[in-house]
Amino acid sequence: MNAKLFSKAIGEIKDTYYEEAANYRRGKPVWVKWGSIAACLAVVVFTAFSVLPAYLGQQSTMDDPNKTAVKNPDNDTLPTTDNPNISMDKIIFNEIAELSDAARKKWYDPELYDTITWDKDKIIDYYGNDPTSMYVPDGLTAAPGNGTARVFVDKYGNVVEDTVWLGFFHDYYEDGSPKFTEDVAAVNGFSITASKIGLLNDCLYILPENEVTASDIGGTAVTFGYRSMPYGPYDSETHEPSGYYDMYVAEFEYDGIEYQIVAEQMEAEEVVKVVSSIIFGKDVTVGK
Amino acid sequence: MLDDKKIVELFFKRSEQAIRELDSKYGKTCYTLAFNIVNCRRDAEECVNDAYLGAWNAIPPARPIPLLPYILKIVRNVSLKAYWRKESSKRNSTYTVAMEELEACIADKNNVEDIIEAKELASTIESFLDTLTVKERVIFMRRYAYVDTYSDIAKRVGISEKNVSVRLALIRKKMKKYLIERERFI
């Protein structure tokens, strides 16, 4: 086989593939700069819990949201030696220059669109599987608001917004939103946003274009981002933050589903484990 | 803009308006594809015009709905022929000339074999494409069917150029494995 034959073969493939490539358009990006990272995160968290309560979590955490999330029971039967090994040396973290307002969502005219609520069965039916993390670090629990997803459909019943959101944090306030930690005014844990339609581009963070490098995890290109996040209270005179904590973002597409993971106050290795466990469908070992 | 069905009806009526409507609706896409292959404005325009003529001769009896993939495939074939012709004229070594002389004698046989081989390979590529995600498929098709630049693909699918490059490398790697397993990689 040579390039010429390959080229001819490409010219012979079915029209449907050409059509798909011609008509594919990413979701319209809505970039909004934000001056205060802490304020934005608060909005993210608030919106996530008030507008996008969704849960595809593990059965154990679904049945009892207050129960500490555990690793998938199926994994307990897997021998450790079978687990894929990921080396942190191969993971590239791209520094996040700025963040978009991730909470900003498209507005759907109620005259044209309806909001419907999916239960867990419907979500799994739609996604074809349970698009949730197989690995949840110790000490994190499933968000109480999880369990359903609010999606938008047009008047013909076609799904136009299928974003679902999962949260796993160390603790929660009464209203269900994640609690800040005592020493650092920020949440501790991670959220997963998933979409088949591909609307996640609406809530991407901004990276310097030429510096973005994806990492290869099991053949899937994963873009990891990192930012040292300031937290309050801010000094009234110097406006300096009280300190900084780590925030990681991971974005990738796997099995036709786009994922965005935002982790705060977590170790990089733990974030890589969460991502890898989604891709491999089981626990992985992460080493140096 | 007319829908594809109405444009095809104009072809069937042998109305030259069909070409104008086709050009108005898909001309820019056709030109971009041709230009990405031949890399010359004048040649690209010629290729698109030749493709329109090809469509004019083929419709009827063909009734291609949707029209876009149909016309794009013609543009692609015409442009690739122009590209290979141009490349060939650049390589005026004794070997190239000798091969071209020989090609003239065995062209028909080769064409038939090539077409069969290309169709078989196309079928394998289709099966491979079905194993990819929609986004991966679009990236692959935009690069190797539409011959888009990394930059254009990045804008279309909403990722960085570097990410396009990484994803394409992974897709090629997957495809190589897929073709080797099916004894298609020789």
Q: Is B158 left (phi over 0), alpha (psi -120 to 50) or beta?
A: left
Q: Which pair of structure tokens corresponds to residue A258?
A: 């786009």
A176: helix, coil or strand? coil
Residue type, A256: G
What pLDDT sits at residue B129?
93
- Tell me which of B77, B144, B162, B172 to substitute to probe the interface with A (most A C-beta atoms closer than 10 Å): B162
Mean pLDDT by 10 residues, chain A (288 residues): 78 89 64 41 49 41 36 37 79 68 58 84 79 79 79 84 86 86 89 76 52 81 82 79 85 84 90 90 82
Cα–Cα distance for residue pair B68/B27, rounded to 1 Å: 10
* For B110, nearest residue in chain A (alpha carbons): A5
What pLDDT sits at residue B22?
92
DSSP string, chain B: ---HHHHHHHHHTT-THHHHHHHHHHHHHHHHHHHHHH--HHHHHHHHHHHHHHHHHHTTT---SSHHHHHHHHHHHHHHHHHHHHHHHH---HHHHHHHHHHHHHHHHHHHHHHHHHHHHHHHHHHHHTTS-HHHHHHHHHHHTS---HHHHHHHHTS-HHHHHHHHHHHHHHHHHHHHHTT---
Residues in chain A: 288
**Hey, which residues does B158 pair with through a beta bridge?**
none
A1, A29, A213 member nearest B184 (Cβ): A1
Residue whose pair of structure tokens reads 């608001």 in the numeric block? A145
Is B121 in Cβ contact with A5 (below 8 Å)? yes
Q: Provide mean pLDDT across the span B87-116.
A: 58
Number of Cβ atoms within 10 Å of the Cβ of A189: 25
**Cβ neighbours of B175 in A, within 8 Å:** none
ipTM over 0.85: no
Residues in chain B: 186
- Tell me which of B117, B166, B179 to substitute to probe the interface with A (most A C-beta atoms closer than 10 Å): B166
Cα–Cα distance for residue pair B103/B100, rounded to 1 Å: 5
Encode pLDDT of B107-140 as tens digits.
444 566 666 778 888 899 999 999 888 888 999 9
**Cβ neighbours of B132 in A, within 8 Å:** none
Backbone angles phi, psi at B132, to 5 degrees: -90, 165
**Single pTM value for the model:** 0.49
Residues 35-74 of B with CB under 8 A from A: 66, 68-70, 72-73
B112 touching chain A per CB within 8 A? no
